[in-house]
Each structure stands twice: as structure tokens, then as C-alpha cells.
Amino acid sequence: MRSLVLAIVCLVFAGIVQGQEPKVRIATFVADVTPPIGHPCMGGGIEPVKVIDDPLYAHGLVFLSDAKPVVVVAIDWCEIRNDAYERWREALAIAAGTDKVRVLVTALHQHDAPIADLTAQKLLDRHKARGRIVDLDFHEKAVDRVARALSKSLTNPQPITHVGTSQAQVKDVASNRRTLDEQGKPRHNRMSRTTDPVLSDRPEGTIDPWLKTLSFWNGDIPVAALSVYATHPMSYYGQGRTTSDFVGLARKRRQADTPGVFQLYASGCSGNVTAGKYNAGRDSDRGLLTDRIYQGMAESWKKIMRQPIVALGFQSTTIDLKPRTGGLFDRDALRKRLTDPPPTTDPLGFRQCLAAFGLSWRERLDAGIPIELPALDFGPAQLLILPAESYVEYQLAAQALRPDSFVVVMGYGESAPGDIPTQQALDEDDSNLHDWCWVAPGAEAAMRGALARVLKK
């Protein structure tokens, strides 16, 4: 008798007793965010848009329950920073009728795509700089288009009773930037495309080999799936050919396989992880990488374990990241780089863009706007988003904090800090941190402390 009573109680809390409405519903939306011809790519660091190989999209979910809605949106852009990130969260929060902190915005980080930082662009405009980061009118139209799509989706939410968890190992895609040379000395120079056979032959290094999938079900019917894998998502790039690249193309194939299941993809924490060991930047490499991510998605789908959603929890903490100072990162040095004419070796004025990014980040910190680390708790699984180009070690640390659960970590949230390295990378003078890193040493302690707080049972 006691076993029967416990079984009935579990069914009641799962919201699946006959005649009882499920406690959680989900709305799905998608909107085009493709930049126009001539728009800067990667924040002005590579050739602007010349042709659209395939369109860019924002894919989103809205979780509706007794509490305020939670929004998760994955955008085929390189990065969203500072006041641009706040603008996205503000607009989507209004559309969903929720608080800004409950809006999780992640960029997939394809390089032939926009970076958005409104203050940085205004600084460039004010000083009549050569560099260009983002078209402000296009940015606002993109935000509005996505917000309207979200609002429309709320008219037709679907109940979800179960969350599915699954993972599959992806082979021959991810590799760490860090390798050891012939003398055993660490080098951090294996980039997204590698033509040096010596670098290609070296081990993968520290990666997370698992593509993780969270799926959402109404009884036995799948409604939506979110797949996350940690790697820079670029094959060939820098030619002005805008594309969602191999991760977006794999997502498109999965969507064709499962027309009734809304498919999302997000990049995990991969500031120091690329496809460089397996990618020489050839056209054919994009197809091979697409196949491997696609196979990971398909294989993960075969291994789903479904569990009832008893409740939908949410919590958030802040990460205390300090601004980088000294040398090129002092305020005066940043202002000088912004206002000085760039050299002929910098025809796009990228050094001015980098300075504008640094000053925009300083303005944000001066205004006391914190970086938040939100986490969505489904019971057997947690979904959280870390800022910027967090190194993969933070994703692995998050999983280690909750070995009893299925922890899915998205990277490239608020991207103002740039690379967020480990202390080991700093000690080894990681060459990738010479310009694309705006945080001071000590970030690792702040990141690990925030992870411990947000994942505490």
C-alpha cells in the first residue's frame, strides 16, 4: 500500500494524473537575423558581408509555468556585448512578460557574422574612426523582428510533461588551441583552421567530447530539442561569405529529419577550443564537420532518457570580473588607439574597434551593470549560460559540481569580457589573450565561485 501511495504522489507532482493540466508549457520561435551586404563581420576584424551563403537565424524557446517566463534564444551571430546584450534581454523580456534576468541570450560565434556593441559603435562614430562594428539601424530591426516572433509564439504554447537528457560523443571536430611543442613547452597557436601538419598531428588536448541534448516532451510526443557542443563553429571564414557554418548546417539537417520537433543548437564554452586539428579551411572541410556534428545530434537523439518535469526552477548569481589594465588596456591607451589613424596594415581599422570594445566594457563596469550567471533547473537537468569566450575548463567544472545531474552549459552569453582564461593559460602566456581579452587576472576564482553558487542544490 505504501508503494502505491508514493507512486500516486509522484504522478500528481509530475502533473500527469488524468485530468490535470501539465504545469509547464513551451513556446518556440525563429526569426531571420541575416545582416545586409556590406555589414561588418566579427566586429570589423574580417571582410564585411559580400554574399550570403546561407541565412542566419535566432531560434528561441519560452518556458511558461506558475513563475515568470524564462526565455532561451540562440543567435547565429559572432557576439553580443554590453548595451547591445542588455537591449536584447530587455526587448525579449518585454515581449515575454518577464524579468530581464530570466532571458538567456547566447551567440553561436560564427565569425562571418555580426558582433553587436552599441556603445562601441557610437564611440567609433563620434571620433569618425575608420573601424565599423555594427549597423545600429540593422541591429534594432533584428531585435524587433525576434521580439515580435517571440510575442507571436505565445499565442500557441504546447504543454510539456517530460525533459529528455542524452549525449553522444562527437569525433574529429574539437581540439584545444593549446599543444606541446617538441621540447614539451606549451603553445596556444592551433587556430580554427590549421595547415601546419605538425599542429594537426598533436593530440586534441582538453575538450568536452560530448554533444549534449535537452529535449522537451508532451507525454510521448517530442516538442523541442536543444543541442550543445563546445567548439568554435568555423571552417573557412574571413572572405565576406556569411554563413551559419557547420553547426548551423547540421541543425538544418536535423530539422529536416524531425519536422515536428523544433531544433536549436548552441555553442558550449569554447574560448580555447576550435576545429583546428581537423580543419584546414578547405571547402570540403565544412561538409565533413557538418556531417560529424549532425551525426552527433542524430546519435544523441537515440539515447534519450525521459523524466517527468516536477517543477521548473530558476536562479541566478553575478560574476565579479575586473577590467584588464596596463599597457594597451589602460584607458588612455585605449582612447589613443581609438582616435589615432590606423596603419596601412589595418585597412579595416580593427585596432580602433578593439579599443572601442575595451572602452565600452569600462563604461559598463563604471555603471555598475553586473554580468549574470543564470541557471534553469528542470530537476534531473540544469541549463546555464556562461559569458563570452569562457574556456572549456569552466564547462567541465560546472559538470563536476553536479555529478548527480545532467548539466548543459552554453557559452557566449554577455560577450564583453572576450576570452575568459584559466590561470594556467595566463601563466603560460596564451598568445590568444594578447588582444581579445578584457578581463584582469583572477577571473578563474570569480568564475568558479559563481558556478558553485548557482549550481548549489
Beta bridge mates, 266: 228
pLDDT of 11 over the 90 cut: no
The model's pLDDT over 317-345, given as tens digits with 9 standing for 90+, comes to 999 999 999 999 999 999 999 999 999 99
* pLDDT score recorded for residue 52: 98
Question: Torsion-angle region of residue 42: left (phi > 0), alpha (psi -120 to 50) or beta?
Answer: left
**At what angle are helices 118-126 and 350-366 packed, to 10 degrees?**
120
pLDDT of 384 over the 50 cut: yes
* pLDDT score recorded for residue 310: 87
- Residue that is written with C-alpha cell 558553485 in the block: 452
The model's pLDDT over 244-281, given as tens digits with 9 standing for 90+, comes to 999 999 999 999 999 999 999 999 999 999 999 999 99
Q: Is 327:441 a contact under the CB 8 Å cutoff?
A: no
- Give 457's pLDDT tier (boundaries 50, 70, 90): confident
* pLDDT score recorded for residue 410: 98
- Give 18's pLDDT tier (boundaries 50, 70, 90): very low
- Give 106's pLDDT tier (boundaries 50, 70, 90): very high
What pTM did the predictor assign?
0.94
* pLDDT score recorded for residue 156: 95
- Give 21's pLDDT tier (boundaries 50, 70, 90): low
pLDDT of 1 over the 50 cut: no
3-state secondary structure the chain: CHHHHHHHHHHHHHCCCCCCCCCEEEEEEEEECCCCCCCCEHHHCECCCCEECCCCEEEEEEEECCCCCEEEEEECCCEECHHHHHHHHHHHHHHHCCCHHHEEEEECCCCCCCEECHHHHHHHHHCCCCCCCCCHHHHHHHHHHHHHHHHHHCCCCEEECEEEEEEEECCCCCEECCEECCCCCEECCCCCCCCCHHHHHCCCCCCCCEEEEEEEEECCEEEEEEEEECCCCCCCCCCCEECCHHHHHHHHHHHHHCCCCEEEEEECCCCCEECHHHCCCCHHHHHHHHHHHHHHHHHHHCCCEEEECCCCEEEEEEECCCECCCHHHCHHHHHHHHHCCCCCCCCCCHHHHHHHHHHHHHHHHHCCCCEEEEEEECCCEEEEECCCEECHHHHHHHHHHCCCCEEEEECCCCCCCEEECCHHHHHCCCHHHCCCECECCCHHHHHHHHHHHHCCC
The model's pLDDT over 187-197, given as tens digits with 9 standing for 90+, comes to 999 999 999 99
Strand 158-160, strand 24-32: pairing: antiparallel
The model's pLDDT over 110-157, given as tens digits with 9 standing for 90+, comes to 999 999 999 999 999 999 999 999 999 999 999 999 999 999 999 999
pLDDT of 2 over the 70 cut: no
* pLDDT score recorded for residue 4: 39
Query: What is the spatial distance between Cα 281 and Cα 445, in angstroms, rounded to a whole number?
Result: 36
Q: What is the mean pLDDT of residues 295-310?
A: 97
- Residue that is written with C-alpha cell 524557446 in the block: 61
Number of Cβ within a 10 Å radius of residue 12: 12
pLDDT of 7 over the 70 cut: no
Nine cell digits for residue 242: 556569411
Looking at the chain, the whole-number percentage of residues with pLDDT higher than 90 is: 94
- Summary mean pLDDT of the chain: 95
Q: What is the mean pLDDT of residues 23-35?
A: 97
